[in-house]
Amino acid sequence: MCGIAGFLTSEPWQDRRGILRRMTQALRHRGPDDHGEYLDESVALGARRLRVIDVATGRQPIANEDGTVQVVLNGEIYNFKALRARLERSGHRFRTSSDAEVIVHAYEDAGEACVRELDGMFAFALWDATRRTLLLARDRMGEKPLYYHAGPDAFVFGSELRAVLECPDVPRRLDLASVSRYLLFECIPAPSSILSDVSKLPPAHVLTVAPGAKPHLEPYWTMRFAPDHSPTESEWVERLRAQLETSVRSRLVSDVPLGALLSGGVDSGTVVALAAAATGHGRFRTFSVGFAPPSYDERRFARLVAEHCGTEHSEILFTAQHAIALMEQVGELLDEPLVDASFLPRYALARAARRSVTVVLSGDGGDELFCGYPTFLADRPARALGGALPPTALRRLDALVSRLPSSGQYGSVDFLLKQFVRALPYSPAVRTQLLLGGLVPADQADLLSPAVRAELDGFDAYDELARMIDDTGLTDPIERMIYQHARFYLADQTLVAADRATMAVGLEARSPLLDHALVELAGRIPSRLKLAGWTTKHILKRAAADLLPVTITDRRKQGLGVPTAMWLRGPLRPLLEDRLGAARIARRGLFEPATVERLITEHVEGHRNHRKVLWALLMLDAWCEHYVPHARWS
């Protein structure tokens, strides 16, 4: 696991080595163990290394036999031993035991198509000195990040935005369209970033660029759905269980201590049960985080799984005081604005786990692939009501549920019902996103300042989302929702939070449920076996039935919810009112001070639950304070 960075120029730069070192130094947290670099007259490649595989000899960049191909890798290639054996039979000579070295030799054989052979989580940059071409690639599901700037004089890339911004040629211009996307998605989906001159390489894409040329972007894989109704349900259970076991085993390869993050749900519980059985009960470590409000605290369920699987279990309690202590650095830690409040406890848990392990497994991906979120349950009634009720009835219903008392409890009925009703009038893709989080168009318009609204005239993030989902060609509502959850919520929010939280402390996180063979298998399982009536993740629960206590498989879905609504009315209220005060909001010029003041007042007085939008504004303010403290948009 590493952080990578570099640039490609058409003309020589002064202080090339110094620029590269500043870029890689910005990523030291991702790779605290070592650093390496390669420079010629056109390209500079740098890596910060976290030693996980081939601790002794796997220093990067890694070259082919004659040094004409150089690669820097962030991530892990899980099938590197099988690839290495095949490449050695073809005559390639290896100098290390590193998984990164298979990339250069596979590239010699297959060119950019080599990426299709890789099973792993990865973002890499490869320089072909003979062809004078730089190749960037990112894994299929988006586990590892990669940012880039394609300027007139240079192409710059890095694992995080902060590394790209160390290059003096990269401007820091806020992309106002991405501010709108942020308020809808609660993140900024690839290929966009928060800055207009920086892009993100989308998952499952390769990019090629030569000095002075425009980059060429191309997908090499896509999530496909081809439901096969011929196997029986029991046969599908057997196939899924076998693939789960294979996926977990492949991610246990490590030359350093390894454990798992455990929430007490089906996804992480399944991963832990299979990993503990494969490594030996009692030797496998698990880590959990909890909260003081009982409705948010899953630690008792995590303990139940840990005891059942015989792991060595640790847990931490995350409080409002811990959140306050992290607020000064959260903008830097996130690297790009992100609304997911679970980032803070994830970071605290990663910091605790790093004291005893270097690698952790997680259960990320199960809810997206197997219909685990409440949004999947809400879709059928939403489609029925949205099409049946006239606009006047929808407005009356909205006014009615708006009067419900606001609760700060996890999964409170009033909050979910208000979100559900407000999402009803919109297209299926937009409705799904609004149920996940984000502002309806009218609320976003009220929040943005007149200057920003004028600048955004003609841009509509909601139409953009609908077009992207329509362009998939998928017609089955469940398949469309699975794709949407995986492409946006998982890749651009959940995995970003996981990557930043773990890599901030030099901890590698692996997600067995995102093994592309498992993802492809899930695409062949009929939707009726994923969402069976009102039972979410039906097929996954059956595949894990003998691995976990029935209390776990039968319990209601609960994500890593954070009691931000309560905290913003209590311990975090002074910080909220300070960071989002009218003078500060006016100085930034992005939002209407009166609207922000109303949102704060309604929330702290308990009239409405505005935790999502208030947290979004706090995270954006924290990011601006670190990266663009003096900028003003008005």
Strand order in the sheet with 133-138: 62-63, 69-77, 120-128, 133-138, 205-209, 216-219
C-alpha–C-alpha distance, residues 228 and 235, integer Å: 11
| Strand 216-219 with 205-209, pairing | antiparallel
Axis crossing angle, helix 477-484 with helix 428-436, rounded to the nearest 10: 50
What letter would DSSP give residue 252?
Answer: T
HEC assignment per residue over 483-547: HHHHHHHHHHHHHHHHHHHHHCCCCEEECHHHCHHHHHHHHHCCHHHHCECCECCHHHHHHCCCC
Concatenated DSSP letters of 432-446: HHHHHS---HHHHHH
C-alpha–C-alpha distance, residues 211 and 584, integer Å: 43
Assess whether 2 carries a catalytic annotation: yes
Residue type, 422: R
Cβ neighbors of 424 (< 8 A, separation 6 or more) are 382, 385, 386, 389, 394, 397, 431
Which SS3 state, helix, strand or coil, does residue 380 take?
helix
Element housing 208 (H / E): strand 205-209
End-to-end CA distance of the chain, in Å?
Answer: 42
C-alpha–C-alpha distance, residues 341 and 323, integer Å: 10
Answer yes or no: are the C-beta atoms of 50 and 95 closer than 8 Å.
Answer: no
The CA-CA-CA angle for residues 576, 582, 586, to 5°, reads 120
Q: Which listed residue (2, 187, 309, 371) is catalytic?
A: 2
Which SS3 state, helix, strand or coil, does residue 224 take?
coil
What letter would DSSP give residue 202?
Answer: P
Helix, strand, coil % over all residues of the chain, rounded to 5:
45, 15, 40
Dihedral sign from CA coordinates of 548, 554, 555, 558: positive
Count CB neighbours of 273 within 10 A: 24
Catalytic residues: 2
